[in-house]
Structure 1
Amino acid sequence: MATVTAIDDVRVFTGDGLTRPRRVYVEGESIVADGTPDVVVDGAGKVLLPGLIDSHIHTLGRDDLADLAQAGVTTGLDMAAWPLPFVTEMRGQAGVAQILSATTPAVGPGGNHAKMPGFPADGIVTTPQEAHAFVERRIADGADYIKIVTEAAPPEGMDRATVKAIVEAAHEHNRLVVAHSITTGAFRVAVEAGVDISTHAPLDAVLDDETVARMRDAGMVSSPTLTMMRGIAGVRAGAGLKYEYARDTVTKFHEAGIRLLVGTDANSAPGVPFAPRHGTSFHDELELMVEAGLTPVEALRGATTLTARTFELDDRGAVEPGRRADLVLVDGDPTTDITATRAIEGVWIAGERVR
């Protein structure tokens, strides 16, 4: 018989606000409607959140996933990882954050990503014909979504026809397409190609009204990774890059009604310009999103229910019977004070308490 845990007298985040104090039951890996508890956790004065979902991470090993879990991030959406045996190993880790992965991203032949040590040759895409073959390889790898880099024009990066061909091939396989874009020009390429999700926010200027409107009308989603944008702008200030451009773009996205997800670009790779820490940076990101104009409830929604819905993670993202028991108990009310997400009292991943 699986252990039944009851979290008692706790207010639950629904995606829109908090319930009245109630009891939540966990049996085995799932949230259940009722039961006879073997363990009772006092939730009085506390708030129970669905497990937090970081919509943009990179992992180099189990330690990264453990750091996510300690900070209440129970799922991480990895946006580039290789080789495939490593990705498979990380997907199978128990007791730490679960990952999904794009596996190898698509990049142009001469950009910075292609020059990374050990970058797989089959991730370099130069023509629309190669684009279809690239997507077929990622589907064979079990990629959960397709990641592309739209940062530079040829000869460094991919041309627009190649980016569009990747998007079309991915959509034929019912995969979402996530585009790395940190300049206004890269955003325009992503919009014209019909990508589903943009990650990062521009550092060269505030994104123009026309492109924002096209994103809204196309139903594009943004994971702006303000933590990373602030870090990159700090180390490359002499290049004319400004964090304020990224922040003000997010404000425009919010005002336009574009869906905003919480993501950090957390990574632990040596030699990168900036490396947000797994887990702790997620709480930084929540606070930066609120500073950019989101309400605490909207930021929490972008960290839980909205990300789960966007990536079709139907087994998580809500505290409801039948869902996977990924839960975070915090001391305080993050719907009024977003910093309360840092006051973690307990984390459960698939019903197992990890903190």
Structure 2
Amino acid sequence: MTVTYFNDVCLLVDDSLSDPVSVIVKDGVIARIRRRGPAPNNAEVVHGEGKTLIPGLIDAHVHITNRRDLDALARYGVTTGIDMASWPPARTAALRAVRGTASIFSAGVPFIGSAGPHARFGMPSHAVVSEPDQAVTEVRRRLIDGSDFIKIVTEPRGHGGPAPDVVGSIVTAAHEARRVVVAHASHIESFKMSVAAGADIITHVPTRSPVAHGLARRTPAAIPTLTVSEALTGTMALPGSSYEVARDSVAALHRAGTPIAAGTDAVDAPNVPLTIPLGTSLHHELELLVDAGLTPVEALNAATSVPADLFGLDDRGSVEPGLRADLLLVDGDPTTDITSTRRIAGVWIDGVRYPTTDGISRDEPTASRG
């Protein structure tokens, strides 16, 4: 039996840190949390004075193609990646089976229109769905292929995305199959369409017209990907776009009580014009969320318990007995200073220590053009 004993660590409890406690991990599972005491026999002892033990982080919007990508996440304490597009199915299945690094949960092949920007990414032909009566068959195909949830790429009218009736049919078919639906919506019109169609989670926020309070109140959950908004309005300087619009949208969603999950749209691919580094970028995303109005605790929840709840990952997202021992040990108090997540003292995946960096510089680049 493999046993790890975390001594004198603080945990996130409600909106603050606990007094120092001991956490015992046995065979990849959090077995017990108690006040200080002697370590079990033959346990690896981790001294946690001045440190905080939080759940392994979850990036709720990434793109993963190989083992190297999983390792890039794990190295920076991101122990779970929610992949927003992956094919072929055999490769995705192989990545799910990899142990000793970050876990992947994937949409598989997303639903796209025939002429939108995503039609140029080399997806299989069945990614394109043009008629409502195709929805049931194509949702079933994705379930057979192993999709953990369904993703739809929506676009404004005239931009080549699926029509509103097609989007609605896909959402209905996915819900009948008891699958969560994530809608890509980077424009205000597609954002409204996705909410009206009943998508469970909207990923991205507009950078031209902000999400108003009324729309925010109707939004069930959001993955804003502010890191991408910052890059698009900065590095790529898209005309008519403003980062402040994206930040204001997140602020409106937060005020409306919309559950917000942290995601980056990180990808390492030569054919993508904008690349966001895997792993490091999630720490930057947490800082951007705090800048948009979330408290540090809310930002931590956005990368742990909130995505775990939204995607039905009931074995992770919190430091509690019985849960998977995906853990991140950081120096300092991230409930008062969110940049503390960069000061990585250790990462454990399924109870096993993972080789990590000694921390993340604030000056480390978060996005670049390919």
* Smaller-chain TM-score bracket: over 0.9
Answer whether contact 2:212 2:252 (CA < 8 A) is retained: no
Q: Which amino acid is the alignment partner of residue 335 of structure 1?
A: T
Measure how far apart 1:115 and its partner are: 1.6
User: What whole-Å deviation, never above 9, does each CA across 1:41-77 have from its counterpart, x for those lacking one?
Assistant: 1001100001100100001211111010011000000
Give the corresponding residue for 1:47: 52
Structure 1 position 28 matched with structure 2 position 35: no
Q: What stretches of structure 2 of length at least 5 have no aligned partner?
A: 34-39, 356-370
Measure how far apart 1:330 and its partner are: 0.3
Counterpart CA distance in 2 for 1:102 and 1:316 is 19
Measure how far apart 1:281 and its partner are: 0.1
SS at 2:191 equivalent: helix
Q: Relative to structure 1, is the Cα distance of residues 300 and 155 closer, same or farther in structure 2, using a 3 angstrom cutoff?
A: closer
SS at 1:186 equivalent: helix
Measure how far apart 1:3 and its partner are: 1.5
User: What whole-Å deviation, never above 9, does each CA across 1:263-321 have from its counterpart, x for those lacking one?
Assistant: 11110111323211100000000000000000000000111111111111111111111
Answer whether contact 1:324 1:350 (CA < 8 A) is retained: yes
| Structure 2 residue corresponding to 1:149, chosen from 149, 153, 157 | 153
Counterpart CA distance in 2 for 1:278 and 1:77 is 12
Measure how far apart 1:143 and its partner are: 0.9
Answer whether contact 1:54 1:75 (CA < 8 A) is retained: yes
Structure 1 position 168 matched with structure 2 position 166: no
Q: What stretches of structure 1 of length at least 5 have no aligned partner?
A: none
Answer whether contact 1:108 1:114 (CA < 8 A) is retained: yes
Structure 1 position 96 matched with structure 2 position 101: yes
Let me know the Cα RMSD of the aligned residues.
Answer: 1.3
Give the corresponding residue for 1:315: 315
Counterpart CA distance in 1 for 2:286 and 2:238 is 27
SS at 1:138 equivalent: helix
Give the corresponding residue for 1:266: 266
SS at 2:289 equivalent: helix
Give the corresponding residue for 2:68: 63
SS at 1:179 equivalent: strand
SS at 1:330 equivalent: strand
Q: Relative to structure 1, is the Cα distance of residues 235 and 132 closer, same or farther in structure 2, using a 3 angstrom cutoff?
A: farther
TM-score (norm 2): 0.92
Measure how far apart 1:9 and its partner are: 0.5
Answer whether contact 2:129 2:162 (CA < 8 A) is retained: yes
TM-score (norm 1): 0.96
Give the corresponding residue for 2:351: 351
Identity of aligned residues (%): 48
Q: Which amino acid is the alignment partner of residue 97 of structure 2?
A: G
Of stretches 147-156 and 281-290 in structure 1, the one that deviates more from structure 2 is: 147-156
| Structure 1 residue corresponding to 2:124, chosen from 96, 105, 120 | 120
Measure how far apart 1:349 and its partner are: 0.5
